[in-house]
Amino acid sequence: MKLKYRLAFTLVELMVVIVIIGILAGVVVTNIGNRGEDSKIERAKVDIMAIRDAMDFYRIDTGSFPEKVEDLVEQPADVAGWKGPYLRDGEIPIDPWGNPYVYERCYDNPKYEFKVISWGPNKEDDEGKGDDITNIKQ
- What's 123's domain CATH number? 3.30.700.10
Classify residue 7: in a domain, yes or no: no
Residue 102 lies in a domain: yes
Residue 120: inside a domain: yes
Reported as half-sphere exposure (CB side, CA atoms, 13 A), residue 61 has a value of 18
- The answer to whether residues 61 and 81 touch, using CB atoms and an 8 Å cutoff, is yes
How high is the pLDDT of residue 15?
86
pLDDT (tens digit, 9 = 90+) per residue, 79-138?
889 888 888 888 888 889 898 888 887 777 667 788 888 877 776 666 656 677 887 775
DSSP label of 18: H
The answer as to whether 40 is a domain residue is: yes
Give domain status of residue 31, yes or no. yes
Measured over the CA atoms of residue 100, residue 101, residue 103 and residue 109, the dihedral's sign is positive
- CA-CA distance, 64 to 80, in Å (whole number)? 10
- Could you list the residue range(s) of the whole structural domain that residue 108 is in? 15-134
Q: Can you give the pTM of this predicted structure? A: 0.68
The number of folded domains in the chain is 1
